[in-house]
Structure 1
Amino acid sequence: METTTSTSIIPYSPEYQPDFKRLNIEWISRYFTVEQHDLEQLDQPEVYVLPNNGQIFFAKIDNDVVGCVAMVNTGTPDRGETGFELAKMAVSPAAQGKGIGKLLCLAAIDYARQLGVKTVWLESNRILTPALTMYASVGFREVPSVPTPYSRADIRMEMIL
């Protein structure tokens, strides 16, 4: 089935917070357990994601929000370090397989580049093969893991910009 609709990528607005939570709860609860740190970010993105140039991007097809990704500033500028975590990547099951995750990922990476960020990293789980394949296709490479608040995270990937 061919589709003639186009996907638009838009930045965060408070009206999209329920979509941010819905999309992420949907995939996390399918494969894992929703954790406290998830709920903090999903319920209060203005506190846990958006400060210090953090951003959330949404993919829309027509008027439907079908995907999202967050960029969380994890750098320590006082030590001259710039880094963002690519987090909370989600695409609704009905919209998967259409390249929407890749569009979101590329928008997030472009955003980090515009800010002069040096490193973008992410944590995931090895059972999420399609996601890991997509991350690798845009330039992420596996690096040694570090302590994480997520019990589900068993792989860390990063990209040097």
Structure 2
Amino acid sequence: MNTITITPYTPTYQPDFKRLNLEWIEKYFRVEPHDLEQLDHPETHILPNDGQIFFAKENDRIVGCVAMVNMGESGFELAKMAVSPETRGNGVGKLLCLAAIDYARQLGVRTVWLESNRVLTPALTMYARVGFREVPRVPTPYDRADIRMEIAL
């Protein structure tokens, strides 16, 4: 595997953000309205209040991404994690996840949480390996979400 670098969002990467996420969402689920809000308009729905999107670059190609959304008192949501199919299994998701957690820690965030689906076993396994633990679910805008996990920082 070539060297992977993690880089923050710039508007140039918005099409990659959308492409990578639509790829996995359409494979396993259906694209929901909240997905399109975030994917089409990250400057409005993700980046305010210290939100961030990190990208994994291999050479000049974007091969992964993850968003950190400031959800106020409930902490930051780790969202829109995606790794290109040809790059999966090489630790890119873990690099992105650790970069996102480190970012939240630097901001003094106390809790990072995520919502996912139990069919995404490799992702759930990776989240558990970096310290996320299952917690009770709360209302969510996603029909597909059937598990909530969080990590205390």
TM-score (norm 1): 0.94
CA distance in 2, matches of 1:137, 1:111: 18
Structure 1: where are the runs of 5+ without partners?
Answer: 76-80
Q: Does 1:99 align with 2:96?
A: no
Larger Rg: 1
Give the equivalent residue in structure 2 for 1:62: 59
Larger deviation, residues 82-91 vs 139-148: 82-91
Question: Which letter does structure 2 place at the counterpart of 1:126?
Answer: R
Assess if the C-alpha contact under 8 Å between 1:60 and 1:67 holds in 2: yes
Q: Does 1:39 align with 2:36?
A: yes
Q: Does 1:20 align with 2:17?
A: yes
Query: How big is the alpha-carbon RMSD for the aligned residues of Structure 1 and Structure 2?
Result: 0.6
CA distance in 1, matches of 2:74, 2:96: 21
Question: Which letter does structure 1 place at the counterpart of 2:103?
Answer: Y
Percent identity reads 76
**Could you report, residue by residue, the CA deviation over 1:78-111 in whole angstroms, capped at 9, with x for unpaired residues?**
xxx3610000000000000000000000000000
Greater than 3 Å deviation, 4+ residue runs? none
Give the equivalent residue in structure 2 for 1:53: 50
Match for 2:114 among 99, 108, 122? 122
CA distance in 2, matches of 1:68, 1:128: 16
Query: How far 1:119 sits from its partner (Å)?
Result: 0.3
Query: How far 1:41 sits from its partner (Å)?
Result: 0.1
Give the equivalent residue in structure 2 for 1:78: none
Give the equivalent residue in structure 1 for 2:150: 158
**Could you report, residue by residue, the CA deviation over 1:25-77 in whole angstroms, capped at 9, with x for unpaired residues?**
000000000000000000000000000000000000000100000000001xx
Q: Does 1:134 align with 2:126?
A: yes
Aligned positions, number: 153
**Could you report, residue by residue, the CA deviation over 1:122-149 in whole angstroms, capped at 9, with x for unpaired residues?**
0000000000000000000000000000
CA distance in 1, matches of 2:89, 2:152: 26
CA distance in 1, matches of 2:125, 2:25: 18
TM-score (norm 2): 0.99
CA distance in 2, matches of 1:70, 1:132: 16
